[in-house]
Amino acid sequence: MTTALGIIKSAMRKAGVLTKNETPDADEASDGLEMLNDLLASLSNDSLVVYARAVEGFTLSSGTASYTIGSGATFNTTRPIKIISAYVRSGGIDYKVRTVSDELYASIMLKSTQGSYPEVLNYTNSYPNGTINLYPAPAAADTLYIVSEKEISSFTLNETVNLPPGWKRMLIYNLAVELTPEYGQQISQEVFEIAKQSKAEIRAAVMAAKKMDWDSGLGMDENINSGWNN
């Protein structure tokens, strides 16, 4: 797991901008984040889509069973592709919430039932925002924590993400290459070659994954990931 700030610090060290014990100041971190997000956008244009796992917490509303999730939604965050697992924190205790398929959720007869805390979560991956359905509806404003897979279009500075194998290395070295002219540095041939090699390896892995089929009928507890596993 890593953060954008961690990637930026490592890239600045590879670029010769920082020494081992130095950290970027606020302006440097902001500039580095902008360049990292530009790099991600460029990779998307190259058909290299970054997937990552994120752990996030959202406050529930008493008696409310359904919540939209996505940019500007009730749960305002990047829309998940898949929710891996979930739990509710109530009174300092964490209670597991089981993820279920659309079919299993549809079989619940009275979905508006209210309980102490949700025991079941169903996720509808619609666009532009997804929908999280909970059963039973929460009785209090507890916190729902979800572990989800997302397509990354941009980072926030301190968001914790779990990148697919090889992506962290590729982002660090390729960001280092882009940072050097900004700071008047000369990139080393070793860093340049690793940047090229790591991107080529990711491209090969993505192309191999695209040959695999995604069965959209699988339940939420099953593995629908077609490119990488943790």
Which helix (H) or strand (E) segment holds residue 142: the answer is none
Angle in degrees, 0-180, between the axes of helices 4-14 and 26-45, rounded to the nearest 10: 100
Amino acid at 130: G
For residue 111, the model assigns a pLDDT of 94
Q: How far apart are CA 220 and CA 170, in angstroms?
A: 30
For residue 159, the model assigns a pLDDT of 84
To 10 degrees, the CA torsion angle through 214, 215, 220, 222? -80
Instruction: For residue 27, give the 3-state DSSP assignment.
Output: helix
pTM value? Answer: 0.61
Candidates 135, 88, 85, 132; CA nearest to 109 is: 135
For residue 209, the model assigns a pLDDT of 60
**pLDDT by residue (tens digit) across 123-177?**
999 989 999 999 999 999 999 999 998 887 789 999 888 888 899 999 999 999 9
Q: How far apart are CA 70 and CA 49, in angstroms?
A: 18
Q: How far apart are CA 41 and CA 160, in angstroms?
A: 19
For residue 140, the model assigns a pLDDT of 96
What residues of the chain score a pLDDT lower than 50? 211-230
